[in-house]
Structure 1
Amino acid sequence: MLENYLAGSFWFGTLKRYRMIEEEGSAANVEPRFSDRREGIIENGHTFDAGYAKSVMIGGISITNSHFSGNGTDIMITHEVNEFVFCASYGGYSRRQHLDIKNGALSVSGTQYEGNPKLTHFAEIDLIDFIDAVGMVAPRTPVWNTQLTREEYLLHDRVKYGNTGSSNSIPSIYETSGMPDYEDYLRTIFTKPTHFSPENEFRVVLRANAPYSLEDDPAGMKLKHKKLRRSITKTGFLDENFCLRQAASLC
């Protein structure tokens, strides 16, 4: 991967592919660092105030004169988001963080993050220069045919670690499209379970034309340009016996 970076070549995978769990013999293996069943999943729970739905329409679901019992969510609507994503670790290069991501570490919730022993090298990237380069190169890439403006298609932020779902209490007479709003969308693409907190991730997202979905289920998209190469400020190898300015991609 480092060789690709030095050639100015960066791979933007998709949330759908990162959602796949690595399995022996799978045709689409995903590195353990990115294996997350919740990637790009929006779950909106709806609970009736009085356990009763007189006339409720949520998307294509119509409920009339129905009683609900129990302490759980009455209706759960799930949507999938799929976009092109480049992932890196945020902040200046840290040998300690590199060791944690490579060898595994405890997450903030106390679970054991597995790590990826293949992450032996690193590239330190100037975040501002990289985002500027992506914004220039992406529209010139043949597979990228977005009609959105740069402000709309190029998103970037630090990842938060927690729950992407939401829960709503609704009255017995209620109607909604059931579609997630933009706040749901942003929360989904920039939130991961606490299990992945050792990654300290930053994401650069290329947004598709169609809401939440890429056409033809691509594996990803390669961006290549000398300007992307110039965003790299430092590279190195993790010496475990010893060893981004704003974003460091481990590779």
Structure 2
Amino acid sequence: MINKELETYLERRINEATVILSFRILLENVINNGAKSTLTKTQIEEEFNRQNYKYGISTFRSDYVLRQSGNDKNAISQHKDQFFIKPNFIQGMNTPDFREVANLIDQHWDKLSQEQHRFMNNIEAQLEKTLGIKKDFIEKMLLKVETRKKGQCFEVTSFSILKVYLQNRGFELNRYSTVYSNDGGIDFTAQNAVYQVTTKLDKRKFKEDLNKVPLKHRIFVFRELSANFDKKVFDNELILDYLSPTELIDYLNYLSEREPAERNLNKIIENILSEFKREYYVSK
């Protein structure tokens, strides 16, 4: 039997790699040492960094466990330098129940890992396709495809198109963070401006992004605008430009028609692949 609070927690958080791996490590400790067992941050970090490749994530950061503590909806808590699973999340459970939960998490992430590898293999396979198929693939990645992280494909693909388009004109566009990372509102960086990217730009998101990176010129990149969004707000001294799918598709069309077209589209796909490797921290 799985505790109801734990069941709810798993439903909400099982797809969040950094959260669920931290929990899985503490759960294994419970299986081996009992319900009251604890681990230090250092002990969690050591085990996290042995298993992180299974979850497609980078090395341990202390906030992976710290930000979970103190929230009633989260299963992890802390006392001094010791971390543990809250008693109310495992009350009524025994060792076989704990193993059932551990197996559920492992099977779920084995499946997700296989899906990620198939996804990456499909991207790489596009390099061998015809020019028209490559262009259609890039356009679908930009406009239609979604991963478990909403907006991930749009951000990665818009960056890849813009990077090649600008590179061919002697400018460099960079992307250092990943989707949903704490990037301070900077998604891409260029020589004199930052790019702020979102799938759906509404009034609230616009104001939030405008307040980030004070006094810095920026370019907004979006897949769609909310129904009540007024483009007049783009008339702001900090905003250099804004890019919708129309402009991004125009750039893609240009690159697919301009020689060397094959090289241009291959560069876009290679950038998409490279960025997803960073997103998933694929371990070779």
TM-score by length of 2: 0.22
For the pair shown, the structure with the greater C-alpha radius of gyration is 2
TM-score by length of 1: 0.24
Higher RCO by CA contacts (8 Å cutoff, separation 6 or greater) = 1
Structure ranking higher in strand proportion: 1
